[in-house]
A and B are shown apart, each in its own frame.
Chain A
Amino acid sequence: MIGLAKGFSYTLKNLTRKKVTYDYPNEPLPLPDRFRGIQKFYPEKCIVCNQCSNICPTDCIQLTGKKHPDPSKKGKIIDTYDINFEICILCDLCTEVCPTEAIIMTNNFELAEYSRDQLFKNLEWLDENDENKRTVNKP
């Protein structure tokens, strides 16, 4: 009976304690800078080196480049850049390998959509994903 009584006193004590839940949809979750959310992409920084698409463990990044419009300059610029968030596991490897930090993580994790097609994010969408970008990208 003592064990039961102890348990009762513990739950009663907790009745008036401070609540620990987050008021989530009303207030954004406090997330650290390193948090890995949906990527932000800078098309102007990208040098089309294909490293992100190669390192991706689930092959969810597809990109194509085109010749630099300015014929005096070498290299390529990005043409299309798609991430399929149906299979992206937000592992952070693409941002780790990117030499120019053209792709970085943000704190945006709200990926719920009504249709699977909407999980296919293209270059424009990723470029506009501007909120809460990670400030320190490389360790």
Chain B
Amino acid sequence: MIRTEEMLLNVGPQHPSTHGVFRLVIKIDGEVIKEATPVIGYLHRGTEKLAEDLQYTQIIPYTDRMDYLSAMTNNYVICHAVETMMNIQVPERAEYLRVLAMELGRVASHLVWWGTYLLDIGAVSPFLYAFREREMIINLLTELSGARLTFNYMRVGGVKWDAPEGWIEKVREFVPYMREQLKGYHQLVTGNEIFMKRVKGVGTYSKEEAINYSLSGANLRCTGVKWDLRKDEPYSIYDRFDFDVPVRTEGDAWARYECRMQEIVESLKIIEQAAAQFPAEGEIMAKVPKIIKAPKGEAYVRIESPRGEIGCYIASDGKKEPYRLKFRRPSFYNLQILPKLLKGENMANLITILGAIDIVLGEVDG
């Protein structure tokens, strides 16, 4: 009589494929996962609590460190929330700079996802190709803001720096270059039979499940829900651009892959149009008081980050610090569906599913 037993395996917090310090306690029978329990909090810094003692300007560098792969969108969401409360009209030039920075950040973020996802699946090279292009975006953003990842670029009422000389031209040149490289990516990976076998039909969920688990971003759009805040609730100046929202209906890892790859193309479209429409001159800062005090009351704004819907809720009692600050962090919400997806899956699919959700641990743990 053979006696088999289930094995309890700790995947992480030190594990190459958990993208940071994420821990998964899984019960496995051979290589089949019976039960998975995510354990989070290893990177918790208490951004929301810290913010209660900080002025609004001081909170901005903290938001950089939440979703550190697309810090520009985080910068934007806090600035946007405060601007909404104070009713500040942001100058046009600043809005264009913000949109350019955010969309460049979105492309960079998706590139990192693409590279690391393929690295998880076992191909080393795509990672380095993706980082070659990402490095160019990072260089552009460094020229603009002065930092490579933690930009701290946006301010309440505008942006810190105007575009340096020749920057817009560089951005314009980057768009066709990136399109050319994208073709190479598809050549290397998208048609690859091994890759298709790994991702097709893996980690499938339905439209209803996605909505019930309050997924957002590409994780939602892969099931056929056409929901993109840039289109459906246009903030900033997104209503001025012509772009599509890529949607797939399969709801598996492959659909998520296609959605994200297509989103890069759409972001490039926005960048191209924004660079073309960029106003020749203008202010980059609205008239704001030196010490920013949000009026008494509360506000909630939400925007589309590369990972999904990022929201910011501010309750203010009229002081220069917020009374309560809350971020709706998309990675955290997207992660909720993981235990359900992992049940009954193979060990190797764990990596494929977790990677396809595209989490950033800084954001999950706040």
Residues of A in contact with B (beta carbons under 8 Å apart): 1-4, 6-7, 9-11, 14, 20, 31-36, 55-57, 89-93, 96, 105, 139
User: How far is A5 from B324 in the complex, measured between Cα atoms in Å?
Assistant: 56
Cβ 8 A contact of B135, one of A20, A57, A91: A20
Contact of B142 with A31 in the complex, beta carbons under 8 Å: yes
B164 contacts A by Cβ under 8 Å: yes
Across the A-B interface, how many residue pairs have beta carbons closer than 8 Å?
82
Q: Which of B182-190, B233-241, B350-358 contacts A (4 or more CB under 8 A)?
A: B182-190
User: How far is A2 from B160 in the complex, measured between Cα atoms in Å?
Assistant: 49
B145 contacts A by Cβ under 8 Å: yes
Enumerate 28 A-B pairs (CB-CB under 8 Å) in ascending A order: A2-B191, A3-B196, A4-B193, A6-B187, A6-B192, A7-B188, A7-B191, A7-B192, A14-B129, A34-B142, A34-B143, A34-B145, A34-B146, A35-B146, A35-B147, A36-B146, A55-B55, A57-B54, A57-B58, A57-B61, A57-B62, A90-B150, A91-B150, A92-B146, A92-B147, A92-B152, A105-B146, A139-B161
Q: Which residues of B contact A92 (CB under 8 A)?
A: 146-147, 152, 160
The dominant DSSP class at the B interface is helix
Contact of B125 with A6 in the complex, beta carbons under 8 Å: no
Closest to B196 in A: A3
Contact of A90 with B147 in the complex, beta carbons under 8 Å: yes
Contact of B193 with A3 in the complex, beta carbons under 8 Å: yes
Closest to B129 in A: A14
B165 to A: closest C-beta gap in Å: 11
User: How far is A56 from B62 in the complex, measured between Cα atoms in Å?
Assistant: 12
Q: Count B interface residues, CB 8 Å.
A: 39
Closest to A35 in B: B146
Contact of A34 with B164 in the complex, beta carbons under 8 Å: yes
Contact of B193 with A1 in the complex, beta carbons under 8 Å: yes
Q: Which residues of A contact B145 (CB under 8 A)?
A: 34
Can you name 6 extra interface pairs (CB under 8 A) apart from A33-B164, A93-B58?
A32-B143, A32-B164, A34-B143, A35-B146, A57-B61, A139-B162
User: How far is A92 from B65 in the complex, measured between Cα atoms in Å?
Assistant: 15
User: How far is A93 from B54 in the complex, measured between Cα atoms in Å?
Assistant: 13
User: How far is A1 from B60 in the complex, measured between Cα atoms in Å?
Assistant: 49
